Amino acid sequence: MTQEMIEAIKADPSYRELVTKRRGFAVRLSVAMLLVYFLFILSIAFAPSLLGTPLGEGNVTTVGIPVGIFVIVFAFVLTGIYVRRANGEFDDLSHQIKENMRRDMTS
How large is the average pLDDT for residues 74-93? Answer: 95
In a domain, 84, yes or no: yes
In a domain, 1, yes or no: no
- Could you give the CA distance from residue 58 to residue 46 in angstroms, rounded to a whole number? 25
Record the pTM: 0.81
Q: 92 is in which domain, residue-wise? A: 11-106
If one counts the domains in the chain, the total is 1
How large is the average pLDDT for residues 6-25? Answer: 92
Report the share of the chain in percent with pLDDT over 90: 74
In a domain, 15, yes or no: yes
In a domain, 53, yes or no: yes
The whole-number pLDDT of residue 72 equals: 97
In a domain, 29, yes or no: yes
Return contacts of 39-42, CB within 8 angstroms, 24+ apart: 40/67, 40/68, 40/71
In a domain, 98, yes or no: yes
In a domain, 5, yes or no: no
In a domain, 6, yes or no: no
| Torsion over CA: 1, 3, 10, 14 (sign) | negative
pLDDT in tens, 20-61: 999 999 999 999 999 999 999 999 999 999 999 999 998 899
**Could you tell me the pLDDT band of residue 103, with boundaries at 50, 70 and 90?**
confident
- Could you give the CA distance from residue 107 to residue 104 in angstroms, rounded to a whole number? 5
